[in-house]
Chains A and B, each alone.
Chain A
Amino acid sequence: MLFHVHASSGVPLYQQIVGQVKNAVASGASRAGDSLPSVRKLAADLRINPNTIARAYQELEREGITRTVPGGGTYVADIKPGILKSEKQKRLRPLARQLAVESVQLRFDSDECVEMLKAELRELGEKP
């Protein structure tokens, strides 16, 4: 698995790593049993502090996304579909909120806002 962190985005680096693992899992790019790079390797690859990686891995384990075999590395866990669904919602919700906030500030009513979203979905070939 490949990672990228953006140090000046203002988002904590450990959260960026947690988010990237979750995205990979939610999109099916990483599956149960796939291994994650070791803390030391990822720290060297990203030029960031190993403590930050360790914190990300602890968080992932706590949320049940990964499991750690003592002395044997970190792996994607068998994740319950419920968790995946809620992860996906977590990712989409801030974008939905952003759309809602902007549309209120710019004084669109809710029909106009929804219509615009539907138009974008049609553009992508999705049936609204």
Chain B
Amino acid sequence: MNEWAIETRQLSKYYGDVKALDGLTLKAPKGSVYGYLGRNGAGKSTTLKVLLGLARATSGEAHVLGERVRPENLAILERTAYVGENKPLYEWMSAEQMVRFTRGFYKSWSDEAARRYAEMLEIPMRRKIKKLSKGNRTKVSLLLALAQGAELLMLDEPTSGLDPVYLDDVLRTLVEHHVNEGRTVFFSSHDLSEVEQIAEWVGIIDNGKMLLEARLDDIRENFRTVIASGNGLPETGENIASVTRDGNFRKYVLARGGESFAASLEQQGAAVLEVKAMSLREVFLALLRKESANVSVEVLA
């Protein structure tokens, strides 16, 4: 039994001189919702392409659902559903026709599930794809992916451009009918508030490397902003992810141990003005705004 839905070791993918992935190590537990974060061009889409066997890794290895990833290994595609950024659909078909067209490709396809999702997501099934709004196109893509009954759902920016009500419908559907069945969702996103809501695990990558991979509740429990003022305040130290300076003031982001760090500053005579928990957005910015960050934050156990 393998506990990882996705596992990569030292995975690299070069396009000429460009290192899209640079020794990426990623572990997404089975049955989790894993939010995959990074800036534009950080390597998120390349990761998904390699995992799906659409691109060949330059070095390193990857396993999906226990299967070694290779472009010629089709078993992974049978057990994995993928919704890409562009959501290719046949414009001249209706959603209903898309369903009939797609079902033949998958052994574990469920017509009953397809009907249920169509109803739950309120998709106009008879209308031609080209007449559908962006939100409804996303819902059709999601329906096609969910009805495959795949063990792993991989979504590339699944919700970009959805209004909050659509987004809420989609999140509910994902939790209720996919995650609740013990299946895994791996999705890349820019929308930190949505990731924060639904993800149990997050991985943050930059320049093709993993900066931080942790359970989101552990990030909430451990990351702290500490604002202090005084003379001779430390500029580096264990667990300090970043420092911002202004005169005698320092704003620290700590990957753990914020409270004891603040107490030690006070013992040295500094005034500690604030010790605050951080949102995912704040953690993300602290790690990626690099002017002062010493990155390489260890994975929180």
Query: What is the minimal beta-carbon distance from B40 to any residue of chain A, in angstroms?
Result: 22
Number of inter-chain CB pairs below 8 Å: 65
Report yes or no: A51 in contact with B31, Cβ–Cβ below 8 A.
Answer: yes
Report yes or no: A50 in contact with B175, Cβ–Cβ below 8 A.
Answer: yes
Q: How far is the CA of A9 from the CA of B276 in the complex (A)?
A: 10
**From A13, A47, A105, contact of B217 by CB (8 A):** A13
Contacts of B252-289 to chain A: CB distance below 8 A = 271, 276-282
Report yes or no: A47 in contact with B198, Cβ–Cβ below 8 A.
Answer: yes
Q: How far is the CA of A15 from the CA of B220 in the complex (A)?
A: 10
**Chain B residues, Cβ within 8 Å of A52:** 200, 217
B168 on the interface (CB 8 Å rule)?
yes
**Number of A residues with CB within 8 Å of any CB on chain B:** 20
Interface of A is mostly: helix
Interface of B is mostly: helix
Q: How far is the CA of A14 from the CA of B221 in the complex (A)?
A: 10
**From B32, B277, B278, B280, contact of A49 by CB (8 A):** B32
Report yes or no: B179 in contact with A49, Cβ–Cβ below 8 A.
Answer: yes
Of chain A, the residue at the smallest CB distance from B169 is A47
Query: What is the minimal beta-carbon distance from B158 to any residue of chain A, in angstroms?
Result: 14
Q: How far is the CA of A8 from the CA of B199 in the complex (A)?
A: 12
Report yes or no: A10 in contact with B200, Cβ–Cβ below 8 A.
Answer: no
By CB atoms of chain A within 10 A, which of B175, B179, B198, B277 has the most?
Answer: B175
B204 on the interface (CB 8 Å rule)?
no
Report yes or no: A8 in contact with B280, Cβ–Cβ below 8 A.
Answer: yes
**From A12, A15, A47, A105, contact of B197 by CB (8 A):** A47
B171 on the interface (CB 8 Å rule)?
yes
A79 on the interface (CB 8 Å rule)?
no
Query: What is the minimal beta-carbon distance from A106 to any residue of chain B, in angstroms?
Result: 12
Contacts of A14-54 to chain B: CB distance below 8 A = 14-15, 40, 43-44, 47-52
**Chain A residues, Cβ within 8 Å of B33:** 49
Report yes or no: A47 in contact with B175, Cβ–Cβ below 8 A.
Answer: yes
Report yes or no: A11 in contact with B180, Cβ–Cβ below 8 A.
Answer: no
Report yes or no: A49 in contact with B279, Cβ–Cβ below 8 A.
Answer: no
Report yes or no: B180 in contact with A44, Cβ–Cβ below 8 A.
Answer: yes
Task: Say yes or no: A51-B32 contact (C-beta < 8 A), given A10-B276, A10-B279, A43-B179.
Answer: yes
A95 on the interface (CB 8 Å rule)?
no
B172 on the interface (CB 8 Å rule)?
yes
Interface residues of A (CB under 8 A from B): 7-15, 40, 43-44, 47-52, 55, 105
Interface residues of B (CB under 8 A from A): 31-33, 168, 171-172, 175-176, 179-180, 193, 196-200, 216-218, 220-221, 223, 271, 276-282
Apart from A13-B216, A49-B198, 4 more pairs, CB < 8 Å: A9-B279, A10-B223, A47-B171, A55-B217
